[in-house]
Chains A and B, each alone.
Chain A
Amino acid sequence: MIIFKIIISLFILFVFVNLILQRKKDKLTTNIFLMWSLLWIAIAIIFWKPDLASYLAIKLGIGRGSDLIIYISIISIFYILFKILAKIHNLESQITKVVREVAIKNNEKENE
C-alpha cells in the first residue's frame, strides 16, 4: 500500500510542478491554477489520510468516505465538462467570425 501511495504522490507532485510551470508561462489563469491546485492537494491529503474523508462524510451526513469522494468526483467532472462545452461554444463563435470576415473581405477584393 505504501508503494502505491508513493507512486500516486510522485504523480501528484509531477502534476503540481506542471501546473506551476503552466502558470508561469501564463497558460493558466489564476482561478484555474488555484482550482486545479486545490483539487490535487485534496487528492494527496485523502490518499495519505483516508480517515479524513470518512470524518467529513459523517459530518456531511453521507456515511462513507468513499461515497463522498465519488460524489465530489462526479460533481467535479460535470463542472469540467460544462466548462469545456462552454469553451467549445466560444471557439465555434470565434471560428464563425473568422469565416465571415474572410467571406466579406474576399468579396471586396474580387470587386476591386
Chain B
Amino acid sequence: MLNKVFIIIPTLNEEKNICDVLSKLLLEYKNIIVVDDGSSDKTIEIVSKFPVILLKHFINRGQGAALQTGNEYAIKNGADIIIHFDGDGQFQIEDIDSFIKTLQSEKYDIVFGSRFMGKKSNLPKIKKYIILPIGKIVNKIFFNINTTDPQSGFRAMTKDTAIKINIEQDKMAHCSEILHKAFKYKLRIKEIPITVKYSRFGQSFGGGLEIVKDLIINKISK
C-alpha cells in the first residue's frame, strides 16, 4: 500500500492565489512542498505562515527546475507518491484523490491529468484550438508521443518513477520532457480527466516557441 503522499507546488509571485490554495489543500493533505522559484512579491511571507515545507530558490530557475527540487526533497524524505500541482488555483483539489487512487491500484507508474477527456475546463480558445494542437504535433515530432493533453502540469508519480525521471528541462519544456521519459522508460502510463479553471491565460504562444527552442537546444547539445 502506497501512503506517503507529497504534493509539490512550484510558485513564482503567487501572493494572490497561494493562500487560498494552501488553506484548501491542508484540509486534506499534510505533506505539501512549496518550491518558491525566486518570487519578488509576498509569496514566501504568506507560505511561511502555513505548516508546509518551503524550499526557496534564491534566483529564478524555471518551473521544471522547481519541480525537480521538490521531487528530490520528497524522494529524500520517504515519499511513496509525488503529485505536481499548481499554485495559481487552476487545478481542482478534488481531482487529487483520483490520481492517488489510480497509482494505489499499483497498475500505473505515472498518471497525467488531461483537460480533453470529458471534464469541462474553461480553456481559452486560442489555447484549445491553436497552441495545444501545435504542442501535440511538437510532442509527436520530437518524441513520437500521442497523448490527449500535451502540456498538462497536473500529474502524479510513484517514488521510483520520480527517481527515473530526472527533470532536466528547467523551464516549461519539462511537460514534454516528463512525457517523453515516461514513454522512453516504458512506464505504465495513465491519463485521467481533470477540470481546469483558468483565471489567466498561462502559457502564451511566445512561451510555446520558447519550449520548442529549449527542446531543440537540449536535443542537439547532447
Which of the segments B48-56, B86-94, B102-110, B155-163 contacts the partner chain?
B48-56
Q: How far is the CB of A80 from chain B (nearest CB, A)?
A: 14
Complex interface bits, B47-77 against A, C-beta within 8 A gives 1, otherwise 0: 0000001111111011001001100110010
User: Which DSSP category, helix, strand, loop or mixed, fits chain A's interface?
Assistant: helix
Smallest CB-CB separation from A103: which chain B residue?
A: B55
Q: How far is the CB of A22 from chain B (nearest CB, A)?
A: 24
Count of residues in B whose CB is under 8 Å from the partner chain? 22
Pick the residue among B54, B72, B221 that contacts A100 (CB under 8 A).
B72
CB within 8 Å of A: which of B128-179?
168, 170
Q: Known contacts A85-B221, A103-B57: does B168 contact A93 (CB below 8 Å)?
A: yes
A104–B62 Cα distance when bound, in Å, is: 16
Hey, which chain B residues are within 8 Å of A102, CB to CB? 58
A82–B55 Cα distance when bound, in Å, is: 34
A89–B220 Cα distance when bound, in Å, is: 11
Q: Are A103 and B221 in contact (CB under 8 A)?
A: no
User: B interface vs A, CB < 8 Å?
Assistant: 35, 53-59, 61-62, 65, 68-69, 72-73, 76, 168, 170, 217-218, 220-221
User: A interface vs B, CB < 8 Å?
Assistant: 82, 85-86, 89-90, 92-93, 95-96, 99-100, 102-104, 106-107
